[in-house]
Every structure is written in structure tokens, then in C-alpha cells.
Amino acid sequence: MMIVEQLTQSVLTGTTIFSLGAVVTLWHPWLLPIILFSPLIMLKLSASVASQEQRAIAQRVEIERNAQCHRSIFTDQASTKEVRLFNPRPFLLTRLHRLWKEIYNCELHLTKEKLRARGVLGAVLALDRPIPLGYIVWQLLFHQITSGRFILYTQSVTALQAAFKS
């Protein structure tokens, strides 16, 4: 059922994009790339962050497995006697600390990348609506379009942006 719903939603979104894109393109063709810019940047940043997240997970799995082995030496009942007898605590604690620091550094790097992507995305989204809508208002103020066309173009641009983002 979800496949049918997704397919139906995709067809509806495609129809919306095609029809509203035609309205905007027939009015001013140069507005369409401006409207497309924000969703394309969002797609690129999302793909980049997802790729970095997958690499970080793959890198972290080995480190976490290693850390779990070291941690289990301290908590496993079978190794208690060996820990008391040979006293490997300083060595194991140093290695465990180093492994946890590696995990922390992986997470820190990934968080910084996500924040950077959000900052770029925020800057793009800050200009997303004002440029096309400002142009439409400017056209209305200087009597280039009627109030009916103002409503048509405003709703077309807003709905087209929403459809591209979805």
C-alpha cells in the first residue's frame, strides 16, 4: 500500500511541478532556475551529509567493537582472575581511553559537518522566497501585472517551491 501511496504522491507532485513550472516559465523563464536553486542545494547537501554519516558509521563500528572487547575484560567474570593476577589495568585503560577519544572525534567531525551544511542551507533558504516573491511584488507596484496575476504568480511560485522541496 505504501508503494501505491508513494507512486500516487510522486505523480501528483510531478503534475504540480509541470503545470506550475509552465505558468512561471511562460511568464518569466529566468525565474525557474532561481526557484530550482534551493531544492537542488538541499538535495546536494543532504546527499553529502548522508554519505559522510555512512562513512563515519563504518569507521566507528570497528572502533566501537574494539572498545567493547577492552571494556568486557573489566566486566566479564571469566577474565577477573587474569586482571587481578597480571594487572593490565593501566595498559587497557589507556587503550580504552584512546578508543573512546577516537569515537568522540568521529562524532565531533560529523556534527561539525552537519552544522556547516545547516548553515549553508539556512543561508540559501533565507533567500529562497524573498527573491522571486520580491520580484512579483515589484511587478505589482510598478503596474507590470494586475492584482489577479499577482495572486496567480505568488501562489504558483510558493506551490512550485513546496513541490520541488517535497
Read off the CATH number of the domain in which 73 is found. 1.20.1560.10
CB-count burial class (<10 Å; 0-12, 13-18, 19+) for 133: middle
Query: How far is the C-alpha of 32 from the C-alpha of 115, rounded, in Å?
Result: 29
Query: How far is the C-alpha of 157 from the C-alpha of 154, rounded, in Å?
Result: 5
Higher local confidence (pLDDT), 142 or 42: 142
> Residue 138's pLDDT is what?
92
Q: Percentage of the chain with pLDDT > 90? A: 13
| Tally of domains in the chain | 1
For residue 143, give the 3-state DSSP assignment: coil
Per-residue pLDDT, averaged over 108-112, amounts to: 89
Question: What count of other Cβ atoms lies within 10 Å of the Cβ of residue 129?
Answer: 14
User: Domain containing 88: what range?
Assistant: 2-165
